[in-house]
Structure 1
Amino acid sequence: MPAGDGFNAALEAMLGTEVAGFRELKECQQLTAGASQQTFRILVDTASGDAQFALRRCPPTLEGGPSLGQIDLATEAYLLQRSAEAGIPVPAVVHVLEEGDGLGNGFLMEWLQGETLGQRIVRSESLAQIRPQLARQCGEILARLHAIEVDANLAGQLPGVAPAVLVQETWDWYQALNLPAPMIDFSARWLLENLPVSSRKTLVHGDFRNGNLMIDNNGVRAVLDWELAHIGDPVRDLGWLCVNSWRFGQVERPVGGFGTTADLLAGYEAVSGIRVSEEELRFWQIFGSFWWSVSTLQMAATWRTGHTPSLERPVIGRRSSEAQMDCVNLLFPGEFELPAATELDQGTQLPMPAELLEGVRTFLQEQVAANENKHFSFLAKVAANSLGIAQREFLFGPALAEAEHGRLQALLGDGSLDELRWKLVNELRGGLSLDTDALAEHLRQTVAGQLSIDQPGYTALR
């Protein structure tokens, strides 16, 4: 079991009250998925036999409140109940945690069987027959979701965010981190200058993507993780599902790595009667990558301050360059150069720093990650990935920084690398034309170079 005796005792007491015929808590396993909320698989013995449940809980380190637009878990439970009434596939809520339960904020829900790992959903042979139908099913589900009436109760619990405010708030979150990432500023400027002409206001899931969907042989079994729900432009959900980060390598299938936009939009129109244009979809696809580029940095920042100690969060912060490169490819695609492969044995010191990192990385990846404990194995892979990033920084970072400095000097004049990064950021925030000569080329090459360090296998570099 993942927690101490106090947690287990409180959990057993709650289950004894809320689960009919409860006899004993047999297992409580924390799942590896979920960067901002904890999910546990609960196995209990009841008078009718074994029963499984899922417990969604806010981590104790985040009890001060949700971040980046997240709603609390009690509201998430209410949304699941409303969605079930609207015919949307969701797990049934069994109990919303109360203060007397001693378990913090969260809720208990039924455990459903199905695949939730995006990599498997896009590749598994067992799902090959249903995959071509998933994009249309997603369109139909989103149409029903967006038709849910926003009554006074729901409006009082969810934030309402217009597109312009959503872009500006995300930009403000990034600026508060005090990090110079010019591509993020460029993307924010483009979004604010190309806002949707007309925008509906409906319930929005906010994180409807491959990885938050449970799939079985019949299709979408459940829509999960409603913590970013809000009232806003419904096309955001459609665009987020098409973001490259959630295709898991299947770039030729823009909808979740499993389908086409034509099927997605046809399913949406068939249920809602509303035709969404490719232009609307593209705006929210760009926003989705922009938002994810900021969200990953914000999660890493909570690790740096010590508010969220985690092995995974600093590595997630390095995923910002993935989303930034997706913005590059959507806004100004073109050619770029990547560092040439470097042999690890180059140098006069034996072993070289990169070789030392390679030895530890290989040990973690090939031996420690083979541990039967799935959560421990997952963390070993995260650690190996972290060392790989540091290794590539040793090998390629100096040359990439020198090239970036040269481009910035050509654009902006003299100054150190950090000074010129900040100068470009401040000029973009101050109104520098997005069509400035050599700006797009500089950003494309800089982001591609950073991504070659952070995640060289990411599909945006193909």
Structure 2
Amino acid sequence: MMEAALSRCAACFYPGATGATGAAKLSGGASQETWSFDIVHPGGNVGAILRRAPKGYGAAPTRAAGLDAEAQLMQLAHDAGLPSPRVLHVLEPGDGLGVGFIMQRIEGETIARKILRDEAFARARPILARRLGEVAAGIHALSRAKLPALRVSTAPQEIAELEREYRGFDWPRPVFELALRWLRGHDPGPPDEVTLLHGDFRHGNLIIGPDGLRAVLDWELAHLGDPMEDLGWVCVNSWRFGEIDKPVGGFGSREELFAGYAKAGGRVDLERVNFWEVMGTLRWGVMCCGMMQRFRSGPDHAMERAMIGRRASETEIDLLRLLAPRGNSNAG
């Protein structure tokens, strides 16, 4: 059924296409469906990915940019020479596939454990942090005049939203209280420049090959705000997957990340990066608590939610390390 719908769709938007084959639903993605398939073409099959809202899925969450905006942002990044898949088609009602878009399939790996440990990526790991800095600067430099309508985020808004969500759990955690107080006391104020942010710049949303970074995926949380937010988020300890002494994704240093960012024309503000790393660590902790609440209350008692939920305690350790006086801490 899915293959037949994709065949009809491909024949309409891809010149010379005669159908689609090999349709397979991929794992991952809590709010969107992802399908891999090949567009059948006389000149050779073309690898493609369908990203769409699941059947019966309502309006996008408040923080989500929306699938149409995602497609536009990915194409803008691709056109600017950034590592992003080319968007082949934005779904229309007549396609019978719902809401979403079809993009070029980029081969590579997204699973952090493999990227950080497999020999196949040994040559890529030393160059990734600097490359991520370059790409982040490129994203932040995309012209605001070409962007779709996106939410604008400020530090006070983020603090208020986190506190509201956390209090809604009625699950007191002293370390979270400490972090909220620290964030309110260390708000660096408005940034000199408000730019486009990817919003979820980390493992899982990066396609890595033996040669390095091949694509940035999942622009669902893209928004406008302080560019240092993206740099702080990629340094959150939860994305290091055990390689705690390599703050950038478990494969590099902050200095390498910042050097790449500066080389590509970005300006790094260390105080702001630190602020957003604390914010990001707390945000992930609150998100973990949310997973546990959903597991407890049902009707979805998926064990994966419970496994993520228990990681809230890990973020408490991370927050204590980040908030400890630097002279007495070995925080990474």
Per the normalisation by structure 2, the TM-score is 0.89
Summarize the Cα distance change of 1:116–1:297 in structure 2 as closer, same or farther, 3 Å threshold. same
Q: Distance in 2 between matches of 1:167 and 1:186?
A: 13
Where relative contact order (Cα < 8 A, 6+ residues apart) is larger, the structure is 2
Summarize the Cα distance change of 1:8–1:324 in structure 2 as closer, same or farther, 3 Å threshold. farther
Residue in 2 that maps onto 1:223: 216
How far the C-alpha of 1:104 sits from its partner, in A, is 2.2
1:255 correspondence with 2:245: no
Instruction: Specify the SS of the correspondent of 2:45.
Output: strand
1:129 correspondence with 2:130: no
How far the C-alpha of 1:75 sits from its partner, in A, is 0.5
1:214 correspondence with 2:226: no
Summarize the Cα distance change of 1:18–1:297 in structure 2 as closer, same or farther, 3 Å threshold. farther
How far the C-alpha of 1:312 sits from its partner, in A, is 2.8
Contact 1:60 1:104 in 2 (8 A): yes
Residue in 1 that maps onto 2:278: 286
**Aligned AA for 2:194?**
K
Matches within 5 A, 1:57-72: 57-60=52-55, 63-67=57-61, 69-72=63-66
CA displacement 1:280-326 (0-9 Å, x = unmatched): 22211111111111223334545666686755334323332222322
1:170 correspondence with 2:165: no
Q: Indicate the larger mover: 115-124 or 86-95.
A: 115-124
Q: Distance in 1 between matches of 2:25 and 2:292?
A: 21
Q: Distance in 1 between matches of 2:220 and 2:293?
A: 20
Residue in 2 that maps onto 1:36: 31
Number of aligned positions between the proteins: 326
- Tell me which of 145, 148, 159 is aligned to 2:151: 159
Q: Distance in 1 between matches of 2:291 and 2:317?
A: 19
Summarize the Cα distance change of 1:98–1:305 in structure 2 as closer, same or farther, 3 Å threshold. farther
Q: Indicate the larger mover: 46-55 or 238-247.
A: 46-55
Structure 2 unmatched runs, 5+ = 326-330
Instruction: Specify the SS of the correspondent of 1:80.
Output: helix
Q: Indicate the larger mover: 132-141 or 37-46.
A: 37-46
1:97 correspondence with 2:91: yes
Contact 1:37 1:58 in 2 (8 A): yes
Instruction: Specify the SS of the correspondent of 2:183.
Output: helix
**Aligned AA for 2:129?**
A
How far the C-alpha of 1:101 sits from its partner, in A, is 2.2
Q: Distance in 2 between matches of 1:36 and 1:204?
A: 20
Instruction: Specify the SS of the correspondent of 2:214.
Output: strand
Q: Distance in 2 between matches of 1:307 and 1:143?
A: 42
**Aligned AA for 1:191?**
L
Structure 1 unmatched runs, 5+ = 334-459
Summarize the Cα distance change of 1:66–1:188 in structure 2 as closer, same or farther, 3 Å threshold. farther
Matches within 5 A, 1:375-390: none
Instruction: Specify the SS of the correspondent of 1:107.
Output: strand
Task: State the percentage of identical aligned residues.
Answer: 42
Matches within 5 A, 1:33-432: 33-60=28-55, 63-67=57-61, 69-151=63-145, 154=147, 157-199=149-191, 200-277=193-270, 279-301=271-293, 310-332=302-324
**Aligned AA for 1:330?**
L
**Aligned AA for 2:217?**
L
Q: Indicate the larger mover: 83-92 or 183-192.
A: 183-192
- Tell me which of 20, 28, 36 is aligned to 1:25: 20
**Aligned AA for 2:275?**
F
Q: Distance in 2 between matches of 1:68 and 1:243?
A: 23
Summarize the Cα distance change of 1:227–1:102 in structure 2 as closer, same or farther, 3 Å threshold. same
Contact 2:201 2:234 in 1 (8 A): yes
Instruction: Specify the SS of the correspondent of 1:41.
Output: strand
Summarize the Cα distance change of 1:299–1:59 in structure 2 as closer, same or farther, 3 Å threshold. farther
Contact 1:160 1:230 in 2 (8 A): yes
Contact 2:26 2:34 in 1 (8 A): yes
Per the normalisation by structure 1, the TM-score is 0.65
Instruction: Specify the SS of the correspondent of 1:89.
Output: coil
Summarize the Cα distance change of 1:273–1:314 in structure 2 as closer, same or farther, 3 Å threshold. closer
Give the number of the structure whose residues are more often helix, by fraction.
Answer: 1
RMSD: 2.4
How far the C-alpha of 1:60 sits from its partner, in A, is 3.0
Contact 1:68 1:295 in 2 (8 A): no
